[in-house]
């Protein structure tokens, strides 16, 4: 969750225009999934997803920020690139059809279903430093997404360290850019049960910090769990 964004529950209308959103439902059934895990608020998670498998994140209670990063599982020097993804699709928002590109401009995953409609990849993850700037000096000691990322990777067997954390995706976050080029406080668009689903185009490591932020009104000061599914897929 970026530290500057605040959200309320409403529709996607900004500056008199309806912003581009693409809603797409999935036909996959949770009962057919090969992996089903509920990730509590504030917890880290890392998991390997094989090429062809389908990965779904469900916002169980609504307006939760799911900070996410991907590595090529076979070569972790290749990892998600917000820059390549934005340039590749000529759009700053992520939704159905978005190919999540690596720093080598290769597709890592493709978003195949999305009932939320928009996800952010500009705002980055909250950190103890940003908590002090945004909220108060004493907030420095509160848990933040960058710490969850670090906790997940240093305790994993993949040889990753602090320098391997990059600019991430904030699934279910709405961080629009205004006509004058600024990132704004924006109304949230996610609701309980909304989900985003993506097909792995290579073997990937999915890294998540289910944002622990307690200072931002965007989640009503109440971070909530998400549910993670993987299906075998047909590739």
Residues near Zn ion (CB under 5 A): 1, 126, 145, 211, 213
- Please state whether beta strands 44-49 and 99-101 pair in parallel, antiparallel, or not at all (unpaired): unpaired
Nearest-approach distance from CB 148 to Zn ion, in angstroms: 8
Shorter beta-carbon distance to Zn ion: residue 126 or 160 = 126
* Beta strand extents in the chain (DSSP E only): 13-14, 17-18, 35-39, 44-49, 54-59, 66-72, 99-101, 107-114, 169-171, 194-200, 204-210, 226-231
Cβ proximity to Zn ion, 51 vs 142, nearer residue: 142
Shortest distance (Å) from residue 113 CB to Zn ion: 24
Query: In 8-30, which positions are buried (b, 16+ CB within 10 angstroms) versus exposed (e)?
Result: eeeebebeeeebebeeeebebee
Closer by beta carbon to Zn ion, 99 or else 146? 146
- Which one, 124 or 176, has the nearer CB to Zn ion? 124
Provide, rounded to whole angstroms, the least separation between the CB of residue 178 and Zn ion. 22
Min. distance of Cβ 219 from Zn ion in angstroms? 10
Least Å from the CB of residue 5 to Zn ion = 10
| Pick 145 or 226: Cβ nearer Zn ion | 145
């Amino acid at each position: 969750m970026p530290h500057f964004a605040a959200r309320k529950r409403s529709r996607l209308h900004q500056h008199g225009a309806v912003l581009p959103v693409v809603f797409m439902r999935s036909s996959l059934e949770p009962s057919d999934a090969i992996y089903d895990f509920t990730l509590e608020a504030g917890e880290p998670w890392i998991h390997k997803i094989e090429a062809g498998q389908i990965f779904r994140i469900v916002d169980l209670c609504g307006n939760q920020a799911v900070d996410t990063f991907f590595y090529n599982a076979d070569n972790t020097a290749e990892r998600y690139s917000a820059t390549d993804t934005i340039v590749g699709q000529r759009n700053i928002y992520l939704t159905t059809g978005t190919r999540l590109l690596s720093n080598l401009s290769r597709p890592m995953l493709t978003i195949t279903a999305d009932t939320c409609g928009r996800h952010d990849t500009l705002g980055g993850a909250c950190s103890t430093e940003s908590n002090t700037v945004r909220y108060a000096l004493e907030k420095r000691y509160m848990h933040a997404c960058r710490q969850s990322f670090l906790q997940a990777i240093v305790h994993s067997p993949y040889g990753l360290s602090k320098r391997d954390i990059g600019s991430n995706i904030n699934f279910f976050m709405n961080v629009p850019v205004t006509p004058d080029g600024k990132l704004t406080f924006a109304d949230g668009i996610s609701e309980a049960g909304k989900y985003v689903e993506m097909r792995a185009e290579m073997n990937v490591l999915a890294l998540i910090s289910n944002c622990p932020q307690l200072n931002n009104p965007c989640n009503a000061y109440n971070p909530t769990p998400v549910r993670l599914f993987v299906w075998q897929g047909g590739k």
